[in-house]
Each structure stands twice: as structure tokens, then as C-alpha cells.
Amino acid sequence: MQNLFNFILRYHFLILFILLETLSITFIVNTNSEKEKVLLSSANQISGYFYSHFNFVAEYFSLVEMNEMLSKENAQYRNSFVSAYKANIVMKKEVIDEEYQQQYYYISARVINNSINRQHNYITLDKGKKAGIEVGMAVVTGDGIVGVVRDVSENYASVISLLNTKLGVSVKLKKNGYFGSATWSGNDYTSLLVKEIPNHVPIMIGDSIITSGFSTIFPEGILLGTINKFNQEQGSNFYNISIKLSTNFKTLSYVYVIGDLLKKERLELESVEE
Amino acid sequence: MINIIPSNILRFLTLILFQVLILNNSNLTPLNITPFVFILFILLLPFETPKWLLLILAFIMGIILDIFSDELGKFSFSLVLVAFLRPSVLNLLSSRDGYRKKTLPNLQDYGWKWFLKYSIILIAIHNVSFYFLEAFQLKYLYVTLFKIILNTFFTTLIIYLIQSFMVRNRHA
């Protein structure tokens, strides 16, 4: 016992070092375990609270871009007002309620923390469970898609950014509907890689890439970006496509979280097959 | 000597706030690199700091930074590594008569040559550990190396500027 005590006393620096590093490594390795999620979501509560109270410091630096984006968005909405159109129709058609059923609803939220310079980037929003946000909802801006809700607490939500190598999105070409999947390469915050589009499909630089709607997360037809580079790898049947993102992740400030009212029904139907 | 504890606590808090609120803000940093100025706290701890306290302080700081970056482990691992190697680096860089009493490992007491060597070594250790943990593979080796070098440069630059600013303030 005496010996053990002496040993610990003598090598306490090394022992403590190994202990703390092992702890850190377990944190890194268990990123997706339940325990980690609980830990992170309570940590999220703290950092979320902090960010929402001190965000004005960071916001101050991006006021110009934020104003620009909001006024642009305002213009877009003004364009879609009824008053912006001259009515040419005289005949009025009766609308039956059953023809249109609301499927998606939008919750507006503010970005209180955002990063673009890591391999796994996350975004924190200032709304959570109380506002109706749930895990797995899509996050978009007026320009394009942003990410998927990963975790929610009472008042905050943590979002996996599109700029995260862990996230893949099902996409398709707008002009002919061929579908593939988009992931981030981990380096450039303005571009994304699209794979699995077969190389017999005619594509051109500038073609729009939109969400396919195959997953229950993103509604169909939301813009991701436009093709800015593509090539064919030898021996492969698929293109390597690089697209320029339409969302500017560097100036993200207000986003919309999309809820799907029919998601449950669809998931139930799709799980029957198994 | 009595001043050391409050001034270090103050430095701890200021550096974390500076990092989290201003430097981590993606709108500010050029070339997509966030300088890790918080390392200055570990650099400036007094020579006499007990080794175990070094590790504990580094771990606490790392965990706080991890919480604010939404993924646990990376900062705490890298900072504990820096704290572990700091005594050896100090030994390596000491002159023949060792370090004088009542001095701190800073620019003012040991000159720019010594301070640059000292800070570059420890910052590079931190960045190598951090960026390789982040990439977790050798696929993006060149990008990772590029990031390490660029970040070490910027972090050292900012830390040097902060230090020289403090020296001038004290003389004035």
C-alpha cells in the first residue's frame, strides 16, 4: 500500500496526464452514443444561454451583411404579395378545401452560433422544443438549404450544418430529375460535392441542383446551388460534380425550420415494407 | 506574488470570452482560419505552477472551449498535451543559469527571441494535435498541414502583438 502510494505520488504528473487524455479520447470516440448526447445537450443549454445573451458582440460585426440579406428577402416577399400583381383573371374558381392540404410549416429562428472552419460544423438556433422544433427537421434560408436539426433542448436547437462531412443530402438535377447525393468535402465553405449522377446524363456548368424530396427531411425542390465544375473519373460510371452553394454560410443570421405535418404518416407507410 | 492568482483568473476569463465571442465568429477570420489565442493562458502561467495544476487548468479550459464548439474532446486533448509538454519545452529553452526568480515566461522578462521560440513550439504542438484529431484520417494530409502552418503563424502573430502591447502599456 505504501509502495502504491509512493508510486502515485512520484508519477502523479504522468498518471494525471494519461487520465485526462483518455477522458478526452473517449469524448471524441463516443460522439454518437446516448451518453454523449445527454452530455452535449446539457452543454448546449449552457452555451446556448450564453450565446443568446452575448450574441450582440458577434452580431455587431455582421450588421451590414445581415441588413443586405434581410432587405433582399423583404423584396422577395413584397414581390409575392397579391398587391404586387395586376389581376388579369375575371373568372373566379371555387376552391375546395380538400384539394390542398397544408404539408409543411415554417418556424423562423435566429442563428446564435455558427462555424464554417471545422470538419464538423454545427449551428445553434435560439428556438427549441417550446417553439415546436423537433429532431430531424430541415433548416433553410431564402437562398437555399442550411442543415438538419440534430438535437433540441427547451429553448435551443443544435443543427448539423450542410458544411459537415457527416451529413449527406439526397439531391437531383432540376432540369431532368436525375438524382444523386451531396456531401461536403471538408475544405471549402462555398462548395459541395455531388456524386452518383451517371455519366450518360447531359449536364452543363450552371445547372441547378435541388433537393429530391426522397428523404423525409427536406421538401422537394429547395435549391442547393449550381454546378461550377464537373469531370468523369476513369473507370467510373458517375460524374464528380462540384456545386457552388447558394446559401452563404459565412453570413447566416435568420433561418427557417421546416416541419412536415405528414412525416409520421409517410414513415409509417415506408416502414411497413420491412 | 499575491497578484498572480486573480490576474490569471482574469486572463483565463478574458481569453475565453475573446475566443468564443470574437475570434470564433466566422465573419471575421480571413482564409477560414481561427487563431487559437487562448493558448496564451497556458503560456503565461508562472514557472512555479505545480505540474498537476497545469494539467487541470488546461483540461478545464479545453472542456469549456469544446462545449462552445459543439463537439467534446478535441480542445481538451490538445490543451492537456500542451500543458504536459510545457515543462519539458521550458527546460529545453532555458539558458545556462535557468530562469530567474520572480519572473514570468513572457516577452517582457525574456525577450522576443526566447518568447517566439517558446510560443511557436507550444502553439505548433497544439495545432498538430487539434487538426489531426479533427481530420481523423490522412486523406486530407496536405490541407491539414496547410491549416496547421497557417494557424500557427496567425496565432503566434496575434499572441506576439498582444504581448508587445502589454509591455508598452506597462512602461508608459
Cβ neighbours of B129 in A, within 8 Å: none
Looking at the structure, do residues A20 and A62 belong to the same domain, yes or no?
Answer: no
Model pLDDT, residue B108: 83
Among the listed residues A167, A31, A189, A175, the one whose alpha carbon sits nearest the alpha carbon of residue A118: A189
**Residue A201 forms contact with B (CB below 8 Å):** no
Within a domain: residue A155? yes
Are residues B73 and A24, on separate chains, in Cβ contact within 8 Å? yes
**Residue A88 within any structural domain of the chain:** no
pLDDT value of position B27: 59
Highest mean pLDDT among A9-23, A86-100, B157-171: A9-23
Question: How high is the pLDDT of residue A82?
Answer: 55
Degrees to nearest 5, angle at CA B13 with B8 and B17: 145
DSSP state of A245: E
Contact between chains at A61 and B84 (C-beta distance less than 8 A)? no
Do A62 and A142 sit in the same domain of this protein? yes
Judging by beta carbons within 10 Å of its beta carbon (0-12, 13-18, 19+), is residue A215 exposed, middle or buried? middle
| Mean pLDDT (whole number) for B7-33 | 80
A58 shares its domain with A17: no
Residue where the block lists cell 519572473: B103
Look at B76 and A24 and tell me if their CB atoms are within 8 Å. yes
User: Residue A116: which of B32, B70, B143 has the nearest Cβ?
Assistant: B32
What is the pLDDT at residue B13? 92
A149, A161 contact by CB (below 8 A): no
With a CB cutoff of 8 Å and minimum separation 6, the contacts of A204 are: A227
Domain that holds residue A107: 41-79+96-163+253-259
A101 and A189 within one domain: no
pTM of the predicted protein model: 0.69
Q: Which SS3 state, helix, strand or coil, does residue B167 take?
A: helix
Of the two residues A37 and A254, the one the predictor is more confident about is A254
pLDDT reported for residue A92: 44
Grid cell, residue B165, equals: 502591447
Task: Considering only residues A96 and B136, tell me which one the structure prediction assigns the higher pLDDT.
Answer: B136
Q: What length does chain B have?
A: 172
A49 domain residue, yes or no: yes
Contact B66 A27 (CB under 8 A): yes
pLDDT of residue A50 exceeding 60: yes
* Inter-chain touch A24–B80, beta carbons under 8 Å: yes
Which chain A residues are closer than 8 Å to B136 by Cβ? 119
Best CA proximity match to A150, nearest among A121, A191, A170:
A121
Residues A117 and A199 placed together within one structural domain of the fold: no
CB atoms within 10 A of CB A232: 11
* DSSP state at residue B70: T
CA distance A27 to chain B (A): 5
CA B171 to chain centre: 24
- Look up residue A53 and give its amino acid: H
Residue A187 has pLDDT above 90, yes or no: no
CB B135 within 8 A of CB B148: no
User: Is the model's pLDDT at A247 over the cut of 70?
Assistant: yes
Q: In terms of domains, do A48 and A143 share one?
A: yes
Q: Does residue A244 come out as left (phi exceeding 0), alpha (psi in the -120 to 50 range) or beta? A: beta
CATH of the domain at A230: 2.40.10.350
For the segment A215-242, the average pLDDT, to the nearest whole number, is 86
For residue A57, the chain B residue with the least C-alpha distance is B21
Residues A64 and A134 in one domain: yes
- Write the pLDDT tens digit of every residue in A161-174: 999 888 889 999 98
* Domain identity same for A46 and A159: yes
Residue A74 belongs to domain with CATH number: 2.40.10.340
Q: Are A173 and A191 in a shared domain?
A: yes
Q: Is residue A100 helix, strand or coil?
A: coil
Chain A residues touching B27 at Cβ < 8 A: 58, 61-62, 65, 250-251
**Structural domain includes residue A35:** no
Lowest mean pLDDT among A93-97, A209-213, B3-7, B131-135: A93-97
| Higher local confidence (pLDDT), A52 or A93 | A52
Of residues A49 and A247, which shows the higher confidence score?
A247
Q: Is the pLDDT of residue A240 over 80?
A: yes
Buried b (16+ CB within 10 A) or exposed e, A131-142: bebeeebbbbbb
Residues A75 and A186 in one domain: no
Supply the ipTM of this predicted assembly: 0.84
- Chain B residue at shortest CA distance from A55: B21
Nearest CA among B91, B90, B66 for reference residue B78: B66
A84 within a domain of the structure (yes/no): no
Q: Of residues B75 and A51, which shows the higher confidence score?
A: B75
- Does the beta-carbon distance from A31 to B28 stay under 8 Å? no
Asked whether residue A125 is assigned to any structural domain, the reply reads yes
Task: Tell me how close the Cα of B52 comes to any Cα of chain A, in angstroms.
Answer: 6
Handedness of CA A133, A135, A137, A143 (dihedral sign): positive
Model confidence at A39: pLDDT above 70: no
> Which three cell numbers mark A5?
502510494
pLDDT the model gives residue A89: 47
Chain B nearest C-alpha distance from A21 (Å)? 6
For the segment B50-60, the average pLDDT, to the nearest whole number, is 93
pLDDT, one tens digit per residue, over B75-127 is 999 999 999 999 999 988 887 777 887 788 888 888 888 999 999 999 999 99
Asked, for residue A264, whether it belongs to a domain, the answer is: no
Backbone angles phi, psi at B60, to 5 degrees: -60, -45
Query: Nearest by CB to B77, which of A16, A28, A40?
Result: A28
User: What local confidence, expressed as pLDDT, does residue A201 receive?
Assistant: 87
pLDDT at B7: 87
Asked if residue A63 lies in contact with residue B27, where contact means CB atoms within 8 angstroms, the answer is no
Shared domain for A156 and A45, answered yes or no, is yes
Q: How much is the average pLDDT of A79-93?
A: 53
SS3 A204: coil
Give A21's contacts (C-beta < 8 A, 6+ positions apart). Answer: B77, B80, B81
- Chain A CA closest to residue B85: A17
State residue A49's pLDDT score: 78
Whole-number Å distance between alpha carbons of A5 and A96: 83
Q: Give the least confident one: A116-125, A201-210, B12-21, B100-109.
A: B100-109
Average pLDDT over residues B15-33: 75
In the block, cell 462548395 appears at A191
pLDDT of residue A196: 86
Q: What is the mean pLDDT of chain A?
A: 81
**Residue ranges of the alpha helices (H) in chain B?**
4-17, 39-44, 51-68, 74-93, 107-135, 141-171
Domain count, chain A: 3
Higher pLDDT, A28 or A89: A28
Q: Are residues A177 and A208 in the same domain?
A: yes
Which value, to the nearest 10 degrees, does the dihedral of the CA atoms of residues B98, B103, B105, B108 take? -120
Contact B27 A44 (CB under 8 A): no
A190 within some domain: yes
pLDDT on residue A87: 46
- Report H helices in chain A: 2-10, 12-29, 34-61, 63-80, 263-272
Distance CA A214, CA B53 (A): 53
Is residue A213 classed as helix, strand or coil in its secondary structure?
A: coil
Q: Counting Cβ atoms within 10 Å, is residue A181 exposed (0-12), middle (13-18) or buried (19+)?
A: middle
Decide if B81 and A21 are in contact by the 8 Å CB cutoff: yes
